[in-house]
């Protein structure tokens, strides 16, 4: 059902922590299954220098949040905005079709954080 890489990100999430000094926090959820994600970003010179997450949900939601943070770390805001749910799913070795909804919330939360960061500037 799930790839080894996805299970590794679920069991050993990368960057899974609250960031108390974040420049912006993006939040998204999936009311249908109860998954919720907060993405925290710290930005310097238009580049994500630190990123973390808190996700409450299924294995796929946690793993996609973890993978997203690895993919976005060090990227410019414009590069990070282009990370799609398919990019995240592909990086994890794919997701079952019924779990693709779970892969939406992390990239959407990142775009929400970037939007909030820009609105503060």
Q: What is the pLDDT of residue 104?
A: 82
Q: What is the pLDDT of residue 98?
A: 84
- CATH for 81: 3.90.1010.10
Q: Which residues of the chain have pLDDT under 50?
A: none
Give how many domains the chain has, as a whole number.
Answer: 1
Q: What is the pLDDT of residue 80?
A: 98
Return the axis-axis angle of helices 4-11 and 59-72, rounded to nearest 10°.
Answer: 90
Give the structural domain span for 114: 4-120
CA distance 120 to 42: 13
Report the sign of the C-alpha dihedral through residues 62, 63, 65, 66, in that order: positive
Q: CB–CB of 51/41 below 8 Å? A: yes
The pTM of the full predicted model, rounded to 2 decimals, is 0.94
């Amino acid at each position: 059902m799930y790839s080894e890489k996805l299970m590794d990100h679920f069991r050993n999430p990368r960057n899974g922590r609250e960031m108390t000094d974040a420049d912006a926090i993006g939040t998204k959820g999936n009311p249908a299954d109860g998954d919720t994600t907060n993405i925290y970003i710290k930005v310097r010179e238009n580049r994500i220098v630190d990123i973390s997450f808190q996700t409450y949900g299924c294995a796929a939601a946690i793993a996609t949040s973890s993978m997203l943070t690895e993919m976005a770390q060090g990227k410019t805001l414009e590069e990070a905005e282009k990370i799609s749910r398919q990019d995240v799913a592909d990086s994890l070795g794919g997701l079952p079709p019924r779990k693709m909804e779970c892969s939406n919330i992390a990239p959407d939360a990142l775009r929400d954080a970037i939007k909030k960061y820009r609105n503060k500037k």
